[in-house]
Amino acid sequence: MPMVERLIDSCRQHGGALADAEQAIRGFDLLEHNAEFTRKAVAAKLLESGETVEVAEFLSGKWITTGDFLLTPHHGHSADFVIGNPPYIRLEDVPNDISDAYRAEYASMPGRADIHVGFYEKGLDLLRTKESGLHLRRPLHAQSARRLTPEHSRRSTWFSGHGLWPSGSPHQLELIADLERRFPALEDPRTGTRIGIGVASGCDDVCISSDSPDAGSDRLLPLVMASDIQAGTSEWSGRYLVNPWKDGRLVELGNFPWLGAYYEVNGDRLWGRHVAKKQPRSWYLTIDRIDPGCLRNRSCCSLT
């Protein structure tokens, strides 16, 4: 709504007619009820500013569209500003045909790139050619972004090195620096600790158990949760991850009858996951693969 208010003020200051500003704003939402809600809010704001009902309905209908921003043709359109809140949606939750269409359209979305990456590429592509956007008007991959950042940043020293670049108040940064000087890092090969993302299963009530499920002892991986280490030491709460992976590959259930029986009993919930419908032959897999490296000490720590 602030951009509508700014446009109203700008037209008043420069003597322009709002009725002629039908191309000034283009907004998208996948869901019709969201788009309609926004149209009504925009129309109400225009009526409040003194526009007629006809103009308010015309402009709100032109400005707010129900559609997929990434797949809608934008031929002949460009923008001075691109404003949005790119959604964070896991790749596994996007239908195959839509995911394939995104990857065919956007070079910045190879592999497991989430869809918000495509929003940045399309947003940058729609910007009118100006100095501030010129260098970013080509698709970026993680590797090329690392090279471009120091080349085109105004203060390259901010981005020196490949470590964490924390933000915060001077006092907070000073505290972090002091802790780094006096204490070892959380991830340290000397202690055998590693930091990584948690393992997504898509069905934690089946894949994670607080007792010892009848899935075979060699398929149970002790799982340390964030609540288990809050006191500064590991106090294992007795949870296990039922592990369908071995050496980075999904096991054959025929070779692990206890595991197969456990999954069959809970089959309805496992089959209800999108990842199972997408890969029916591997219906019992976890969304994320278990890293064989974390099995050396027979424990896996999830901080998610």
- In a domain, residue 197? The reply is no
Q: 100 is written with which tokens?
A: 């394939």
123 and 60 within one domain: yes
| Residue of 70, 73, 101 whose CA lies nearest to 86 | 70
Tell me the percentage of the chain whose pLDDT exceeds 90: 25
What are residue 224's DSSP bridge partners? Answer: 301
Please, what is the average pLDDT of the chain?
Answer: 81
CA distance 115 to 85: 12
Q: Indicate if the pLDDT at residue 130 is higher than 90.
A: no
**Same-domain check for residues 148 and 8:** yes
Each residue's pLDDT tens digit, 293-302: 665 554 555 5
Threshold 0.75, pTM exceeds: no
Q: Which residue has the tokens 């296990």?
A: 240
Q: Residues 133, 26: one domain?
A: yes
Q: Are 143 and 216 contained in the same domain?
A: no
Together in a domain, 112 and 255: no
Domain residues for 267? Answer: 204-302
pLDDT of residue 82: 84
**Quick one: which of 199, 224, 203 has its CA closest to 292?**
199
201-243 per-position pLDDT tens digit: 888 889 988 877 788 888 988 888 888 888 878 888 888 899 9
What is the residue whose two structure tokens read 């496992």?
270
Q: What is the mean pLDDT of residues 25-49?
A: 92
